Structure 1
């Protein structure tokens, strides 16, 4: 309690906002986990239906499952990496979402081509991110007078 009294307003506001963000992300992770389990039940129903052989529906549901999975993984990484979202997870999610769009909405060739180009751009971005050195120069040295 004594620690809270010694905090200034500029120090307290970010701590409160960080706590609100953390609690919100925990609730989001719980909701996504419920949806992930629900998607597993949908898989089971699709597999047990003898008359329904719609592989596109099954593939779309698998990719939706991976989208939930990747968002949950990203939230876990957020907490493990000291409140930081790794950029590569956003790229994974974007690629998976675009693949799902191609599978679900492939009636228009122009749209499919555009989705494919978006995937290519995301993969190029991922490649550039991986060849860039992890250690960044200290940005403060660039702002010295």
Structure 2
């Protein structure tokens, strides 16, 4: 019976490790794919700049913002590994703001949609502001009334 508990506990210990390894491998593969797409966007920029003005400036701005989306996703994956397998929420906010700005530039034909996109950007910026003014490290002793001498 004791041997069976040890085997079960070792299996339960291995499952998160295996899943974490699988997650890390897939994130590295995603980063490689995003890096290839980032290089592709640079090639498209070069083509737009070299061309004789046959491309629209909206296409150029759209590609710039798409470039930044790829860049932000890659930097978020790098930050994930640097911060010991944790995605900082502020990177999701950066990506959301960039995506909404891209939507406004590309789909600005309907004013009500543009207003909604702008409200989403405002909400994301307010959320970012709230994240920046709250303490990053929250220990239990800091937030309890009896241990905090500031109250």
TM-score (norm 2): 0.86
**Aligned residue number for residue 131 of structure 1:** 133
Are 1:84 and 2:86 counterparts?
Answer: yes
Moved over 6 A (4+): none
> Per-residue deviation at 1:51?
3.1
Q: Distance in 2 between matches of 1:18 and 1:48?
A: 45
Q: How does 1:1-145 map to 2 (within 5 A)?
A: 8-138=10-140
Q: Distance in 1 between matches of 2:125 and 2:88?
A: 15
Q: Gaps (5+ residues) in structure 2?
A: 1-6, 145-151
**Structure possessing the higher radius of gyration over alpha carbons:** 2
Q: Distance in 2 between matches of 1:56 and 1:100?
A: 10
Cα RMSD (Å): 2.0
> Per-residue deviation at 1:49?
1.3
Q: Report the number of matched residues.
A: 137
> Per-residue deviation at 1:53?
4.8
Q: Distance in 1 between matches of 2:44 and 2:140?
A: 49
Q: Distance in 2 between matches of 1:33 and 1:45?
A: 19
Cα offsets for 1:15-47 (capped at 9, x unmatched): 000000000000000000000000000001111
> Per-residue deviation at 1:137?
2.9
Name the SS for the 1:84 alignment partner. Answer: coil
